Amino acid sequence: MRDVASERDDRGITIRRVGVRDIHLPVMIREKAGGYARVTGVLEASVELPHHERGTHMSRFVRILSGWSRRAVAMPEMEEMLREISAQFSAHAAHVTLAFTYFLPKSSPATGEPSQLDYDCRFVASMVGDQCDFRLGVEVPIITLCPCSREISEHGAHSQRALLRLQMRAKPGRFVWLEDLIPLLEAQGSEQIYPMLKRADEKLITERSYDNPKFVEDVVRDAVIALSGLDDVAWFEVECESFESIHNHSAYARTQWPEGAA
């Protein structure tokens, strides 16, 4: 049977990424306590296509990714996955992203009502030649209360839900657990988000956020101070987006550490 994808192409254009995305598979994520969280993974995989090759065999991506659906996945396994993809495609560069929802227990602050809060997380891995790059990403919901609004208003101040987004690299041979990273990020807002709230809880978080007003700029700067103090962190980019309750637009701030690093 004719293999059209393997035919030669004479247009002389290298395609930096070609592959598949939005593949849903069951995946196991290692937990800090030693167990495994079973999650639905949404995967994207791609390779660099040389200028002389017409196409890529997309089914190979699906076969490789499916083989990892029953194994625990973290940084070492993502590197293994990349090496397998690079070998199968004879590719100079390969990329894999695994997005998943991670749950952590979270009790209401006044009444102690137990529940779980969901966090959007991702592993982003790339390999160029023999060099592998791994980044951990997470989105943490928080509350921001506007310092300016509180200062100029006689009664109250506007507050809203915000997202604190992080991408980070660990130092070689080190690892940062989501169970440690998420609470640290939650502490940088005016107040935290809780899935279960009784009236006493609602009163407490309303008053605590009023006593701790923050712009998105404040949140990002406080996050930089907190994250840069972690011994295992080599680099990060952090962003806070506030879904403003009195505007029809969002406010955001973003920076990276160390400054100038990529």
- What's the rounded mean pLDDT across residues 2-26? 87
CA–CA dist 243, 158 (Å, integer):
11
Residue 5 has pLDDT above 90, yes or no: no
Determine the CATH number of domain 139-262.
Answer: 3.10.270.10
Cα separation, 136 vs 122, in Å, equals 6
Same fold, 10-105 and 139-262: yes
Contacts of 69-73 with CB under 8 Å at 24 or more apart are 69/25, 69/26, 69/27, 69/41, 70/26, 70/28, 71/28, 72/28, 72/29, 72/30, 72/36, 73/27, 73/28, 73/29, 73/30, 73/41, 73/98, 73/123
- Give the three-state DSSP class for 130: coil
Query: Please, which pLDDT band fits residue 1 given cuts at 50, 70 and 90?
Result: confident
**C-beta neighbour count of 27 within 10 angstroms:** 24
Structure confidence by residue, pLDDT tens digits, 46-102: 999 999 989 888 999 999 999 988 888 888 899 999 999 999 999 999 999 999 999
Domain layout of the chain by residue ranges: 10-105, 139-262
- Give the span between the Cα atoms of 192 and 169, in whole angstroms: 25
pTM of full prediction above 0.75: yes
**Which pLDDT score is estimated for 262?**
67
- For 113-139, the pLDDT digits (tens) are 999 999 999 999 999 999 999 999 999
Model pLDDT, residue 4: 62
**CATH number given to 10-105:** 3.10.270.10
Place 2 in a pLDDT band, splitting at 50, 70 and 90. Answer: low
Residue/partner pairs of 209-214 with CB below 8 Å, 24 or more apart: 209/143, 209/145, 209/159, 210/145, 210/150, 210/156, 210/157, 210/159, 212/145, 213/145, 213/146, 213/147, 213/149, 213/150, 213/157, 214/144, 214/145, 214/147, 214/189, 214/190
Q: What angle do CA 126, 221, 158 make, to 5 degrees?
A: 115
For helices 58-67 and 75-89, give the axis angle rounded to 10 degrees: 150
DSSP annotation of 53: B
Pair of tokens at residue 28? 């196991």
What's the distance, CA 157 to chain centroid? Answer: 30
192-224 residue pLDDT tens: 999 999 999 999 999 999 999 999 999 999 999
Query: What is the Cα–Cα distance from 225 to 255, expressed in whole angstroms?
Result: 12
